[in-house]
Amino acid sequence: QVQLVESGGGLVQAGGSLRLSCAASGNIFSTNVMAWYRQAPGKQREMVATITSGGSTDYLDSVKDRFTISRDNAKSTAYLQMNNLKPDDTAVYYCQHRQRLRVYWGQGTQVTVSS
């Protein structure tokens, strides 16, 4: 089992920045993928960014050049630096950890961007 604890959400004005953190604990294998997803009210959950244990990244088109995903493998922690936030970024952000065909989710953290 893997447990994920997210932090860093909050309320910010448009154009502002937030940094989300996701700390993983438990039975973590060295080869894994960590990701951030988000779900806005009335919408489907969507992938925002992913990062492999080797450092390869992928992003949702609408957040490229604004968001940066990173990780500290020694701390089993992933981060999402979000800059130039827009009201459309308002959502609950979830951390995901994938390893050995298993998927684990965090509890989610609310990000609200006011115009």
Percent of the chain residues topping a pLDDT of 90: 98
Given a cut of 90, is residue 109 above it in pLDDT? yes
111 band by pLDDT with thresholds 50, 70 and 90 = very high
Instruction: Give the distance from CA 99 to its chain's centroid.
Output: 16
The answer to whether the beta carbons of residues 89 and 83 sit under 8 Å apart is no
Given a cut of 90, is residue 71 above it in pLDDT? yes
Q: Tell me the three state secondary structure of residue 88.
A: helix
In single-letter form, the type of residue at position 37 comes to Y
98 band by pLDDT with thresholds 50, 70 and 90 = very high
Given a cut of 90, is residue 30 above it in pLDDT? no
Query: Which residues, including other chains, have CB under 8 Å from residue 80's CB and lie 6 or more apart?
Result: 19, 20, 22, 36, 48, 49, 67, 68, 69, 93
